[in-house]
Amino acid sequence: MRLKGGDPFVFGRGSEEAQVLREHKIPFEVVPGVTSAVAVPAYCGIPVTHRGIAPSFHVITGHRKNGEPAEMDYAAMVREGGTLIFLMGVTSAEHICQELIRSGMDKDTPAALLERGTTAGQRKVISTVERLWEDGKKAGIKPPAIIAVGEVCSLSDTCGWLEEKPLFGQKVLVTRPRRRSSGMAGRLREAGAEVVELPSAEPKLVQDKEEVQDLRETVSQIGRFQWAVFTSPSGVELFFEFMKQEKLDLRLLMGLRFAVIGEGTRRALQSYGLFADYMPERYYARDLGKGLAETLLEEAQGKRPETALLLRARKASDALTEELLKAGISFEEKTLYDTVLPDASPQAERVKELLKKQDFSFVTFTSASTVEGFLNLLNPDAEELSGFTAVCIGEETRRAEETRRAASAAGMKTIVSDKPSMDSMAECMERFAAR
């Protein structure tokens, strides 16, 4: 697999590679992409075509192999009257603009320099063909950037949209476990952030043979419980993974009721065709314990309350069990998974470089273990850590405080979200970025 930005056959040298592969009788496929010649202007509010203004667009390379400006028929480009997009042309911008004017283009024709389009570092300079080079130089525009020339550049403010997003210009490092990071990353991208994912802690099913056997026996006799309790989406997913691994039939769950914390856990359960019977209004383990205990006692009407099976991580909060014990509720707690800190990550080197450049605005942490895993993977120095803000999930006071302390101890500035949810963490970043 050869990954390329944009489209491999639009100044991506994909065809040259295809020729070599064919020569060596190596089969290949080409997956078309969205070329930066269209995507970057769109992210900057510049349509490459517009009715009555630009009936066509032309994509041109800005330099030759030796780095010199490409030889082109500028007069023909001017006669065509469409939008001109020059890729890899920043170093040749002055020459390109001069040649266009020399070939008859009106010096006041709108033009734009678009730097690092679609990323958190996106910048644009909207000018004229005559002044574009000087204005770009004053703004410090550097590669990677493209040049757009044509009347459509005047639509940039009207059609611009990315700059209006609350997290535009922010680069965020998400350290959630891989199986949980996509939702958070998607939420942040929707808000305009550029997201880099570095899972620094992973939930994994228990591996110890005795623990596996004990868990199997408990689940195979799950009918002796009336409730199953899950406190995380990972717990739900790993439970069903365990049942499949151990060849345990889903019909064992018939008649079982489910209690969960939070919308994420509820949705995870629902994805298996099961619906939560109880979820507290506040997404805290203590609230789950209190609310579930009250529900069981109320339903018992003076008789012995129903029993619950708690399927959780090894280092789970004691708040849930404390409330159940206080209310006299009978339950069993089983360790379903461990939180494992990875030894290495293919993303680690890239993230290290970005840290050195102090390229991140925020790093998200959902537990003290994600902080520990982050530090283990990257071994950053204090200066690198001082360049961004750690956003810690606001869960139970104790857990949030543990996460904040771990981040603060490493030298990071910290903020804590109001609620224990991904939406709340994103909103926290939006408020902070707007200050």
| Measured distance CA(288)–CA(228) in Å, rounded | 12
Q: What is the pLDDT at residue 334?
A: 97
Given pLDDT bands bounded at 50, 70 and 90, which one contains residue 381?
A: confident
The tokens describing 280, both together, are: 């507290």
Residue range 313-345, pLDDT digits in tens: 998 888 999 999 999 999 999 999 998 888 777
Which of the two residues, 304 and 206, has the higher pLDDT score?
206
Which of the two residues, 382 and 299, has the higher pLDDT score?
299
Q: Does position 127 have pLDDT exceeding 90, yes or no? A: yes
Decide if 82 contacts 56 (C-beta within 8 A): yes
Q: Amino acid letter at 306?
A: E
| Measured distance CA(411)–CA(391) in Å, rounded | 13
Task: Give all domains of the chain, ordered by start, each with its CATH number.
Answer: 34-162 (3.30.950.10), 171-201+342-433 (3.40.50.10090), 204-340 (3.40.50.10090)
Residue range 285-314, pLDDT digits in tens: 899 999 999 999 999 888 888 999 999 999
Is-cis flag, bond preceding 144, omega within 30?
Answer: yes
Decide if 5 contacts 144 (C-beta within 8 A): no
| Measured distance CA(49)–CA(66) in Å, rounded | 32
Given pLDDT bands bounded at 50, 70 and 90, which one contains residue 359?
A: confident
Could you tell me which of 231, 275, 264, 235 has the C-alpha nearest to residue 396?
231
Given pLDDT bands bounded at 50, 70 and 90, which one contains residue 397?
A: very low
Which of the two residues, 58 and 399, has the higher pLDDT score?
58
Q: What is the pLDDT at residue 180?
A: 65
Q: Amino acid letter at 363?
A: V
